[in-house]
A and B are shown apart, each in its own frame.
Chain A
């Protein structure tokens, strides 16, 4: 009961400024917008990039949602890092609030923002050749949520361990972000035929690849694909790992 209450307190605290300034939501999603506006149109001239005869939007949009999950929630730790440096986090640590709830509440807020942004992107895509399969999209958003929980919690963990050296946070975040993104096939397909072997192998090691592939199937309304299973396993694994190391980090932040 206390855990739920404390999670609610942490969540409400983080949500308040977002609700007061919903425009901030949009600033946060510049990168996905830019790719949608300035990159996606190029795909139509490249012929068939994806699976069969669907519009290139159908292929590109799910990847962009994963990119959103990666770019938005990966930065979540920056706010925590600021509070660690300023003293606001320390003050929370001297309260009887549950350490786990502090992490879970913050992560939940990131996920709510992620879902709002994802719905906004889907709404923007509706007038294009993107076809909405409601059940598939719903499943896709659930998968995205699980993925977001993991990335957000990992970002918080990184922040906790960077408190003595803030540059560590931004360094690791930058170094991890672009390889994970480029090697996931979000922008262009990475197949055995189209990519050099070493790059293909790297993309297969990248768990984000499986999430992207699962999202593409789900948003096309296809559930019975082995990729959906792999993607789910990858997302759940990231989430379990993130929350586990995150809660440990929060607890170790003090006695």
Chain B
């Protein structure tokens, strides 16, 4: 559904050339839900803008829904739906009008556009708002309208640029319920960017982690976490001597990556932590080590990002200084 080779985009900002995307090679298969996860400024939006024909690549090739983005941008546009970071619907216009306009922009006639708009309004629980001016809607309602707008022509491929940024957790979950239901109903491939770890973890079948314009990891979220971060078992002991003995025992377990001691606490990084925890506790009892507390933490994608880059995704979310891609060449 998406194939890119060596896709690159650089900008000139204050006399310097900034490489926003460096040699992107992507292959996204039809029917999947793929997350593009990375801190702000990682090149997510710039990549998306190239794939949606909003921005010409500096070099490289991209085929989206079977059409080349440079040779046949109109073909790409006909086949994809797009939800940008901003508001798709104009705040001065009415909900239904914007939906019908969008349908007609894709060549539907007035009654087809109207019928399709009615279906989507019902599917996204917006029926009661059809005559409202877009500017009077809440953030969550507005985002649902944006999704309806992006899906008016039942695209094969749906691009979502930070679909839930700025919404409260409830609205975010609600938005995702809708997206995934429609993904199943109309068999749309979904490609979304996010800097919310939970969002990529919960909703994507496959996560690509992007940093400084490159994809640095690409796998299902479970595999990423198991391979690159692992579980963390923490046990509390009575004193430092016990802690040292506990660490010794832990090192003897198979598939343990790392054991660290901090005061009376021993921290064990491992794969299959759920199976190891009872085993470790039994051995410690056999050894006569008193364990006061035991805890198992499953990894997050932030741990994955930390392992890969040495930085926390949460910290680097605001610190990056790449140029705002929003208006570059738009």
| Residues of chain A having any CB pair with chain B under 8 Å | 2, 5-6, 9, 12-13, 16-17, 20, 79, 82-88, 90-97, 163-164, 253-255
Report the separation of the CA atoms of residues A88 and B82 in the bound assembly, to the nearest whole angstrom.
11
Q: Are B86 and A9 in contact (CB under 8 A)?
A: no
Q: Are A95 and B53 in contact (CB under 8 A)?
A: no
Q: Are A86 and B327 in contact (CB under 8 A)?
A: no
Q: Are A94 and B53 in contact (CB under 8 A)?
A: yes
Q: A126 CB to closest chain B CB, in angstroms? A: 33
Q: B286 CB to closest chain A CB, in angstroms? A: 63
Q: Are A96 and B330 in contact (CB under 8 A)?
A: no
Find the residue from B55, B80, B91, B104 having the highest chain A CB count within 10 A: B104
Main secondary structure of the interface of B (DSSP, over half): loop
Find the residue from B87, B94, B105 having the highest chain A CB count within 10 A: B105
Residues of A with C-beta under 8 A to B52 = 94
Residues of B with C-beta under 8 A to A96 = 74, 77-78, 105-107
Residue of A at shortest CB range from B329? A254
Q: Are B330 and A253 in contact (CB under 8 A)?
A: yes
Q: Are A255 and B86 in contact (CB under 8 A)?
A: no
Contact of A12 among B89, B101, B150 (CB under 8 A): B101
Q: Are B105 and A86 in contact (CB under 8 A)?
A: no
Q: How many residues on B have C-beta within 8 angstroms of the other chain's C-beta atoms? A: 37
Task: Provide a sorted-by-A list of 16 A–B residue pairs whose CB atoms are within 8 angstroms.
Answer: A9-B105, A13-B97, A79-B92, A86-B87, A87-B85, A88-B88, A88-B89, A90-B88, A90-B330, A94-B52, A95-B77, A97-B105, A254-B53, A254-B54, A255-B55, A255-B69
Judge if B220 is at the interface, Cβ distance under 8 Å.
Answer: no
| Residues of chain B having any CB pair with chain A under 8 Å | 52-56, 69-70, 73-74, 77-78, 80, 82, 84-94, 97-98, 101-102, 104-107, 146, 149-150, 327, 330
Main secondary structure of the interface of A (DSSP, over half): helix
Residues of A with C-beta under 8 A to B101 = 9, 12-13
Q: Are A17 and B91 in contact (CB under 8 A)?
A: no
Q: B77 CB to closest chain A CB, in angstroms? A: 5
Contact of B90 among A2, A88, A93, A164 (CB under 8 A): A88
Residues of A with C-beta under 8 A to B82 = 91, 94
Q: Are A255 and B105 in contact (CB under 8 A)?
A: no
Q: Are B86 and A90 in contact (CB under 8 A)?
A: yes
Q: Are A93 and B86 in contact (CB under 8 A)?
A: no
Residues of B with C-beta under 8 A to A92 = 105
Report the separation of the CA atoms of residues A12 and B73 in the bound assembly, to the nearest whole angstrom.
25
Report the separation of the CA atoms of residues A94 and B81 in the bound assembly, to the nearest whole angstrom.
8
Which 5 pairs show the lowest CB-CB distances between chains A and B? Answer: A87-B86, A91-B88, A95-B105, A94-B82, A88-B90
Q: Are A6 and B105 in contact (CB under 8 A)?
A: yes
